[in-house]
Amino acid sequence: MTGIFLQAFVYLIAAVIAVPLAKRLGLGSVLGYLIAGVVIGPIIGLVGEETTTIQHFAEFGVVMMLFLVGLELEPKMLWAMRNRLMGLGGLQVGGTVAAIMGIALYFDQPWTIALAIGLIFALSSTAIVLQTFSEKGLTKTEGGQNAFSVLLFQDIAVIPMLAFIPLLALPELIEQAQSAAQTAAAHHEELSLVAGLPGWAYGIVITASIAIVVVGGHFLSRPLLNYVASSGLREIFTATALMLVIGIAALMSLVGLSPALGTFLAGVVLANSEFRHELESNIEPFKGLLLGLFFITVGAGINFSVLFGDFWLVMALTIGVMVLKALVLFILALIFRVKGSNRWLFTLSLAQAGEFGFVLLSFSVQNHVIPFELSQTLALVVAISMFLTPGLFILFDRVILPRFESQSNERESDTIEETGTVIIAGIGRFGQIVNRLLVSNGVTTVVLDHQSDQVDNMRQIGTRAYFGDATRPDMLHTAGIEHAAALVVAIDNQESSVELVKYVKHTYPKVTVIARAFDRGHGYLLRQAGADIIESETYHSALEMGGHTMKALGIHPFFVEQQKATYKRVEARKSEILYKAWEDDSEGERYDNNFRQLFIQLEEKMAEEMQKDRHDKLSRSERGWTPPPKGYADDFNEDNVQELTPPREEPIQR
């Protein structure tokens, strides 16, 4: 027992040290796990023989991951993906198998071994790719969705591959591979419901198993989960979620199907369940830990003696496989018209071999298809290609993606054919609302944005926008800044927004500059630059949300509005004092201790003001809104709250 505790401690401390460090360096968590495995395995030697056994256990993380993926996909969504699923996925697997088989035949490998090698290397790493997509927010991109379609087809294709590989057995290998087969048999359970069955009976068992998962998941899961949820015990619900995943995986293994595919199918069936999010939250921690453990074992399992014995051969095979797969994927991306950076994301993300490659490789040795000595070299190729994959994502992030973004923005600025009363710099989520309000009230606007794709998107929905950098004086001149009444600064780059305000107020002092501030510090810089009106992008929405929260807690809307008015008044006064302190003490560059102390004091003052009883103080600021009608409190409900009319604000006298 002590040995188990020590081994668990070694794996956990390796992950705790390596993964946060890798994330901080921008390498991603997957590469952190792989590096941790290499350190505790081949380099230090803290783990050894048990690595293979743990890896088989940790592969269950992939099973859980596909269950969670299935929970996010509704059946109608899968049907909508059918073209990419069968087209992209089928052609990728077929094209990769054919290409690798052809090269293996060229190097005098028997056609059975060549075909088996092609099947092994046709698969990509579902675990690494989906985990990285999730971390980097690439799942919803065109390249990410296409990659997912291919990965899903590959997981489905594992089933016929496992059924087909035994047919490739070489008679001359059967005798000499017996011991090797026994060593590799740990990947597969000896228990089987289909052993020795004729083909027709095997087909019936397979169909019945899938039907049990689909029908049971649809009709039996809801009463079961309702029963468990009624207990009110979270740990029992967690146990139920694990029971479902493990039970389905066991059933699939017993009938010779992929556990990952079975759990994925179950996830799809449960995607419309009201318990979907609860299941997801209970399975997610186990998935994360097991996947991390799996990546560590991949790194720890690299056999450096075999690697250094044929170093150049192994590296040449690894690079060759990745380049070949990338070439097939790139051609498919061209055929299916995947454009821009998404084409490279699709190509690079799937260029590696995958964890199911270990399963097929072990199964091939067990069934006397591939010699044990060759399997060790091929296992190294699979592991190293997975090890190199995070580097491909880094290449995409730091080299390819910036290049495409710069290219998309290198086109010539649009010719501005009109002038407007208001010029809006930036048509993102903030500038769009400003523009809609002004245009709907008959105000002529000229909208500028330096992101060409954003401009194109706006044009598609009927919003007139021009591609151009508003920080350039010539572009502002073309837009008619000399005759404009106001400039709205809503660009995302904080430094550029400050410089733009500074230039416009210096060159065109009569133009009213209204600027969006990201935070208090940015607002001070904009004010220092000369902005006439500054609005924080979160201030009003946060204040409104606070008011709604108070109403939801049962606080009377009359009092809520009173407190909001008080907050605005005190905040306006406080902001002025803080700005002077920031400008005088910090010289506009840093927050010093005096500023922080003053901020704390003013926060305390805010609390005092909010707690005062001011029912008899009928100041203009407090009665600038319409109070509720007489008897309102007698029949208080949420509909009444919605009917409160907001105050009419008087225009600011300039």
Domain boundary among 535, 562, 596: 535
* Domain count across the chain: 2
Query: Contact at 8 Å (CB) between 529 and 513?
Result: no
**Is 365 found in the same domain as 250?**
yes
Centroid of chain to Cα 508: 44
* Whether residue 379 is found in the same domain as residue 432: no
Domain assignment present for 340: yes
Rounded Cα distance between 346 and 271, Å, is 26
For residues 428 and 382, membership in a common domain is answered with no
The answer to whether residue 617 sits within a structural domain is no
Q: Please tell me whether residues 327 and 225 are part of one structural domain.
A: yes
Judge if pTM exceeds 0.85. no
Contacts for 140 with CB less than 8 Å, ≥ 6 apart:
none
Residue 641: inside a domain: no
Residue 320 maps to a domain:
yes
Query: Residue 546: how many CB atoms within 10 A of its CB?
Result: 14
Residues 453 and 390 in one domain: no
**251 in any annotated domain:** yes
Domain contains 642: no
Same domain, 443 and 385: no
Let me know if residue 42 belongs to a domain. no
Task: Find the helix or strand (DSSP H, E) in which 470 lies.
Answer: none
- Residues in the chain predicted with pLDDT less than 50, given as ranges, are 176-189, 408-411, 413-414, 588-591, 613-624, 636, 638-654
- CATH code (residue 446): 3.40.50.720
Could you identify the residue written with the tokens 């993102």?
Answer: 428
For position 545, what pLDDT does the model report? Answer: 92
Q: What is the largest CA-CA distance in the chain?
A: 101
Instruction: Measure the CA dihedral 314/316/318/322, to 10°.
Output: -170
- Whether 143 and 215 map to the same domain: the answer is yes
Range of the domain at 317: 59-171+197-277+305-396
Let me know whether 391 and 446 are in one domain.
no
Q: What is the pLDDT of residue 134?
A: 79
User: How many C-beta atoms lie closer than 10 Å to residue 454's C-beta?
Assistant: 17
Residues 384 and 331 in one domain: yes
Distance CA 378, CA 647 (A): 73
Q: What is the CA radius of gyration of the chain?
A: 32
Q: Is residue 451 located within the same domain as residue 374?
A: no
pLDDT, position 203: 78
Orientation of helix 111-122 relative to helix 372-395, angle to 10°? 30
204: Cα separation from own chain's centroid: 40
Among residues 483, 513, 535, the one where a domain terminates is 535
| Residue burial 195-211, b: 16+ Cβ < 10 Å; e: rest | eeeeeeebeebbeebbe
Q: Do 375 and 489 share a domain, yes or no?
A: no
CB-CB contact of 381 with 317 (8 Å)? yes
Q: Which residue, of 513, 535, 557, is where some domain finishes?
A: 535
Answer yes or no: are the C-beta atoms of 51 and 309 closer than 8 Å.
no
Q: What per-residue confidence (pLDDT) applies to 647?
A: 42
Q: What percent of the chain has pLDDT over 90?
A: 9
For 633, list phi and psi in degrees, rounded to 5.
-65, -20
448 part of a folded domain: yes
Shared domain for 354 and 467, answered yes or no, is: no
